[in-house]
């Protein structure tokens, strides 16, 4: 009787230990508050809850087996939580890095938007699309895709800046040509923006002299300047263009590329306005 009683007491003590471990494990699970950790452990916790329940069910029939089972479940719980917390910490670092990159990209886009030309603003519309995509990917935890969207947005911001700079250079060239024309007696029409299939189009400037001579200039955003002259005899149109271009250089300090001549009636000459000396720009 005494041996049986001791065994009963031992089994009862083991059973109590099993129940204590089960309660402790469940308390640890209930204490998980970090939503990222919860996400990482969700599937494993379902299995662990089952193991804890099976451990309790074994207490009366085999306390020793219940103890082995609950100890294994406890070890698995601790491994699962450690791995999940490590992943959550890494995720938090990525999250912070991604959020900072999105904020940086937004700020760069806003700064560019304040000075963007029409062509630059058109490019910036696609920047907004990339930023929206980055935010969506970041919210889904797909940080690599969010960063890739920010990279694309950054490239578009650079393109917008180049488009705006090119347009600024072109406006200076147009203004200087108008000054040069008027100084030589030309009556000018208002500059026209003609569509050529590109976002920036081509600016056309036309002028005429009392003698009936006319000149039409097309200024492309890439720096190319094309002249079309009527009423000039022989090669006198070349002299007229040389005078205008000399004035253009003096007024804006642009650097002109080699001329491409197409002699006809009227004559047409194209030259590339390379850059302003204070800018880093090439056509």
Average pLDDT (118-134) is 89
What CA–CA distance (Å, rounded) separates 107 from 99?
12
> What does the pLDDT read at residue 273?
46
**Does the pLDDT value for residue 272 go beyond 60?**
no
> What does the pLDDT read at residue 125?
87
Return the structure tokens found at 36.
Answer: 């990222």
Q: Which pLDDT tens digit goes with each residue over 194-246?
A: 876 666 678 888 888 888 888 888 888 777 888 787 776 666 667 767 776 67
> What does the pLDDT read at residue 109?
92
Query: Which carries the bigger pLDDT value, residue 235 or residue 182?
Result: 182
What CA–CA distance (Å, rounded) separates 230 from 185?
16
Q: Give the residue carrying structure tokens 């494990």.
A: 25
Report which of 214, 199, 203, 200 is spatially closest to residue 173, judged by C-alpha positions.
Answer: 203
**Does the pLDDT value for residue 134 go beyond 60?**
yes
Radius of gyration of the chain (CA): 39
Report which of 119, 222, 118, 122 is spatially closest to residue 170, judged by C-alpha positions.
Answer: 222
> What does the pLDDT read at residue 164?
86
User: Do you find a cis peptide bond into 266, omega within 30 degrees of 0?
Assistant: yes
Query: Domain extents for the chain?
Result: 2-91, 94-163, 166-272
Average pLDDT (66-89) is 93
- Return all residues near 283 (Cβ < 8 A) that are at least 6 apart: 222, 223, 224, 257, 272, 273, 274, 275
Least confident of 64-73, 208-217, 227-236, 253-262: 253-262
Report which of 32, 76, 35, 36 is spatially closest to residue 52, judged by C-alpha positions.
Answer: 76
Domain 166-272 fold is 3.90.1150
- Tell me whether residue 27 is exposed, middle or buried, using C-beta atoms within 10 angstroms of its C-beta: 0 to 12, 13 to 18, 19 or more: exposed
Q: What percent of the chain has pLDDT over 70?
A: 81
Determine the angle formed by the axes of helices 63-113 and 143-183, rounding to 10 degrees. 0
Residue 83: DSSP 8-state: H
> What does the pLDDT read at residue 78?
93
Q: Which pLDDT tens digit goes with each residue over 135-174?
A: 999 988 899 999 999 999 999 999 999 888 888 888 888 8
Beta strands at 214-220 and 260-262: parallel, antiparallel or unpaired: unpaired
């Amino acid at each position: 009787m005494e041996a049986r009683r001791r065994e009963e007491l031992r089994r009862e003590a083991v059973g109590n230990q099993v129940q204590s471990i089960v309660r402790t494990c469940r308390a640890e699970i209930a204490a998980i508050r970090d939503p990222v950790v919860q996400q990482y452990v969700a599937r494993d916790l379902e299995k662990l809850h089952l193991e804890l329940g099976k451990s309790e069910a074994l207490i009366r029939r085999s306390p020793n087996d219940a103890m082995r089972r609950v100890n294994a479940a406890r070890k698995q719980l601790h491994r699962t939580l450690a791995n999940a917390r490590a992943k959550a910490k890494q995720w938090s670092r990525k999250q912070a890095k991604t959020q900072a990159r999105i904020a940086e990209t937004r700020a760069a886009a806003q700064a560019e938007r304040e000075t963007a030309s029409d062509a630059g603003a058109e490019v910036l519309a696609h920047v907004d699309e990339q930023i929206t995509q980055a935010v969506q990917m970041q919210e889904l935890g797909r940080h690599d895709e969010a960063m890739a969207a920010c990279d694309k947005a950054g490239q578009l911001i650079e393109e917008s800046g180049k488009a705006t700079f090119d347009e600024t250079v072109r406006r200076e060239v147009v203004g200087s040509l108008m000054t040069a024309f008027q100084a030589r007696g030309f009556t000018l029409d208002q500059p026209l923006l003609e569509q050529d299939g590109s976002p920036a189009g081509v600016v056309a400037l036309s002028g005429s002299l009392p003698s009936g001579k006319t000149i039409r200039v097309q200024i492309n955003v890439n720096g190319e300047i094309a002249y079309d002259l009527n009423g000039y005899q022989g090669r006198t149109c070349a002299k007229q263009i040389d005078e205008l271009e000399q004035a253009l250089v003096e007024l804006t300090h642009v650097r002109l590329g080699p001329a491409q001549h197409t002699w006809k009636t009227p004559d047409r000459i194209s030259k590339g306005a390379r850059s302003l000396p204070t800018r880093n720009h090439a056509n």
